[in-house]
Every structure is written in C-alpha cells, then in structure tokens.
Amino acid sequence: MNSPQLPSYISRENVGPWHIYLQQVEKVAPLLDKALWPWVETLRRPKRALIVDVPIRLDNGEIAHYEGYRIHHNTSRGPGKGGVRYHQDVTLSEVMALAGWMTIKNAVVNVPFGGAKGGIRVDPRQLSLAELERLTRRYTSEIDMMIGPDKDIPAPDMNTNAQVMAWMMDTYSMNQGRTATGVVTGKPLSLGGSLGRPDATGRGVFVTAREAAKKLDLTILGARVAVQGFGNVGEASARMFAQAGAKIVAVQDVSATLYNPNGIDLVALKQYFAEHRTLLGAPDCELISAHDFWCVPCEFLVPAALEAQINQYNAACINARVIVEGANGPTTPEAEVILAERNVLVVPDVLANAGGVTVSYFEWVQDFSSFFWSEEEINQRLERIMAEAFQAIWQLAEERKLSLRTAAFVIGCSRVLEARSIRGLYP
C-alpha cells in the first residue's frame, strides 16, 4: 500500500527500512550512558542472517521458488523472538529492520527475548491453501537450524496466522521427533496457544492510546479515529476504540478508503469484509482517495499496515492529535520532523504494538509450564505491562525533552547493551 504521493521511482525498497532503523539508532546513541558506547555497534548489525530458497510444487505440477529469510538481530537478553511475514515486497532490508525493531520492542516491555524476524517474498493471495501449507513447511525446514523454543520463537505477522503457526510447529516437531509447542507463538488454542493472543496487538495499541489521551486531556469517548489496515491489528484496535465510545471515521486498506464522519459501523464492516474479502462497496461509507485518508480530521490516527506510509509526501496534511503506530516502522524520519513541528504526538511502534509479543511471551511461559491462564488474567497483565512501559517512556521524554520514540529507544537500547556488556565477549 504505497502512498500515492510517493513518486513511482521511490519504492519502499530504496526508502529502505533498515536504513530507517539505523537512523533511529544513530539518533539515540549519543544519549546512552557512556559506558555503553563501545557496544552500540552491536545494534547496527544483525547477529546472524539466513537467506533460504523455498521451492514448492504448485497445484498445477510446476515447481516455484521463493526467497525466504530469518534474521537474529540480537540475542543478548534471551532467545530471538519475532514474527514471519508473507508479502510480495518483503526484502532482506525489511526483515533486518523488523528484527532490529523486535530487539528494541522486547526490551521496551522488558520481556526476556532478543529480536528476530522472518519472511518470504511471496504474494500469498496467489497460492491455494495446500500451496501455502507446502510453502510454510518447506520454509520451516529450511530455517530449522535457526529456531527452537529456547533459541528463536517465530510468531504471526502480516499475512500469517494461527494456521500457519500450526504448520510451523508441526513441521519443527516432526523434524525433531517430539512435540515442541513452545517453538512458535500465536498458535491455535488446541496446540498450546494463548487466550487473548489474537487481539493482543490491537489491545496494546488501544491501551497506549488511552494512556496518551490521559496525558493530553483527550477523551476516548467521542474521539474520532482513522485506521489504516483492517487486518489483525487494525480491526482489533478499531473495535476496542469503538467499544470505548470512539467514532471510527475512516478505514483504509489495499482495496479502498472508507469515510463516514458519523462513525463507521465496524460490526457490519467486518461482516462485509468476511464475505467479500474487500472493503470496496461497503455500505454506509463514502469512498475517498487513498491520499485523502491522511488528511481526515481526527484525534487518533492508527497506521496498522506497512512501513513508510507516513512520509514527507503526506505528513504535512495529517490532521490528527496522536499517531499510534500499530504497524512496524510506519513513519519515516523525515515525516517525524514535520509531525513534531505540527505538534502531533507519535506513540512509537516499539511501544504501541508491543502487546502482541507481550502475550506471545505469556504463551511461551504457559507452554513451558503446561499451565494455562484465564483470558481475564492475560488481559490484565498485558494492560499493566503496556501502561507501565508507557509511563516510563513518557517520564523520560519529559525529563530529557525527547520524543516518545527516542525515549523508548533510550530505554530499550540501554537494556540490550547492559546485557551485552555484562556478558562480555566469548571466545
């Protein structure tokens, strides 16, 4: 979903997500404790990166090859952790950046994981369910040496879900000759999945938005919300805003941009989407241009799709009070400067969307102990972790006059590099 203002010769690739991640690290490095400076280079390099060929037999008998990746960005604080993305535009740069953001994110919410990420450069809409299963199983076998319950634990990301995790868990288990539920999270409940995991990222987005609202004297009740993306993150966060009395005034996905200043009926929209697999033609909504989505007047703007969606070409028209980053890397550094000048508060991805991996952590703990918690307990613990992380970041941002992103990076990078420095070098 490239922004229409982006000239066609600037692809997401040469905007370069890894480059964006590096710029964020550069900004924070001088703010870290001097004792950590010798270790900053750790953050500028992935620990290890694997590129794999994933050949599968298509339903028509032909053989197709796809490029897959698994990156361990950092494992100083624990095993690698991060999702697997299936998308036609996935690149090494993107997966490296996503792994780097996982390192920071896991440290920000203080779960005992490093950062990892995987992906396959594939348009999953072009594959049948059987082809998708073969793709997933072959990819899992190819990255087998990278993953394991105490090594690196994949999870869902864009275009992957509980079924894909079940195939990954089964493939790994068959290769190992034992059932290892803890090798992935975001699994179906029947395989050791956790209650609350499907909604966890959206819930975290909502909780951080609510905390931000308190600081700015905004109320969720009656607030206008625009959401980009109607997948796992966008839909769940929109639903939680609506349940708390907010009005969802705009929803955008690859197929369409819908607008209704009186509030979109999300229940009806979800049903329409389930039936038609597109937002196009949804009832009681005005169809507006993809660009106009960014100019919709609202209190909360939730980008919950791809990287670099808020960029130098649309940041100046944004008419929101708070941006809550449901996606990873949705705002470019250039856009961030423009937003700061316009007094738009950005709740950064490494905090706002950390609810997913937080409940992944709960799932991993439950699998290890073979003891499962109630949904209420999970949601309460999640809300507490998210609210406390928000407070710590807000406080540091106030004290040192930093953006919330920089403050989050100071906290996250410090935790990673403290672990790194105290472990020392071996051999």
Question: Among all residues, which ones are annotated catalytic?
Answer: 117
Q: Binding residue for ligand GLU (CB under 6 A) from 136, 185, 314, 379?
A: 185
Q: Binding residue for ligand GLU (CB under 6 A) from 181, 228, 360, 406?
A: 360
Q: Binding residue for ligand GLU (CB under 6 A) from 24, 110, 232, 328?
A: 328
Residue range at the interface with ligand GLU (CB under 6 A); choices 76-84, 134-142, 378-386, 390-398: 76-84
Supply the minimum distance, in Å, between the C-beta of residue 402 and ligand GLU.
23
Residue range at the interface with ligand GLU (CB under 6 A); choices 43-51, 81-89, 133-141, 163-171: 81-89
- Tell me: does residue 366 bind ligand GLU (CB under 6 A): no
Supply the minimum distance, in Å, between the C-beta of residue 248 and ligand GLU.
23
CA–CA separation, 252 and 234 (whole Å): 9
DSSP helix, strand, coil percent of the chain (3-state; round to 5): 50, 15, 35
Find how far residue 266's CA is from the centre of its chain: 22
- Tell me: does residue 79 bind ligand GLU (CB under 6 A): no
Residue 43's alpha-carbon distances to 74, 133, 413, in angstroms, are 8, 34, 8
- Decide: 237 and 198 in contact? Cβ < 8 Å: no
Tokens standing for residue 177: 């000759």
The DSSP symbol for 183 reads G
Supply the minimum distance, in Å, between the C-beta of residue 384 and ligand GLU.
18
CA–CA separation, 72 and 320 (whole Å): 36
Element (H, E) at 80: strand 80-87
- Tell me: does residue 348 bind ligand GLU (CB under 6 A): no
- Tell me: does residue 367 bind ligand GLU (CB under 6 A): no
Closest residue to bound ligand GLU by CB: 83
CA torsion, points 42, 308, 16, 12, in degrees to nearest 10?
Answer: 150
Q: Binding residue for ligand GLU (CB under 6 A) from 70, 72, 73, 81?
A: 81
Q: 175: closest CA among 213, 135, 223, 143?
A: 143
- Decide: 153 and 364 in contact? Cβ < 8 Å: yes
- Tell me: does residue 93 bind ligand GLU (CB under 6 A): no
Residue range at the interface with ligand GLU (CB under 6 A); choices 8-16, 286-294, 298-306, 352-360: 352-360
Nearer to ligand GLU, 246 or 352 (CB): 352
Alpha helices in 32-80 (DSSP H): 41-44
- Tell me: does residue 94 bind ligand GLU (CB under 6 A): no
Q: Binding residue for ligand GLU (CB under 6 A) from 80, 193, 356, 412?
A: 356
Residue 167's alpha-carbon distances to 26, 56, 155, 164, 200, in angstroms, are 39, 15, 12, 5, 22
Q: Binding residue for ligand GLU (CB under 6 A) from 131, 133, 152, 157?
A: 157
Tokens standing for residue 209: 């938005």
Q: 349: closest CA among 362, 332, 361, 363?
A: 332
The DSSP symbol for 126 reads G
Which of helix, strand or coil describes residue 163? helix
Residue range at the interface with ligand GLU (CB under 6 A); choices 6-14, 124-132, 234-242, 350-358: 350-358
Q: Binding residue for ligand GLU (CB under 6 A) from 83, 303, 330, 412?
A: 83
Q: Binding residue for ligand GLU (CB under 6 A) from 97, 120, 143, 155?
A: 155
Tokens standing for residue 423: 């472990």
Supply the minimum distance, in Å, between the C-beta of residue 286 and ligand GLU.
32
Q: How large is the angle between the packed helices 355-369 and 197-216, nearest 10 degrees?
A: 140
Nearer to ligand GLU, 323 or 352 (CB): 352
- Tell me: does residue 357 bind ligand GLU (CB under 6 A): yes
Residues of the shown chain interacting with ligand GLU in the complex, contacts defined by CB under 6 A: 81-83, 155, 157, 185, 328, 353, 356-357, 360
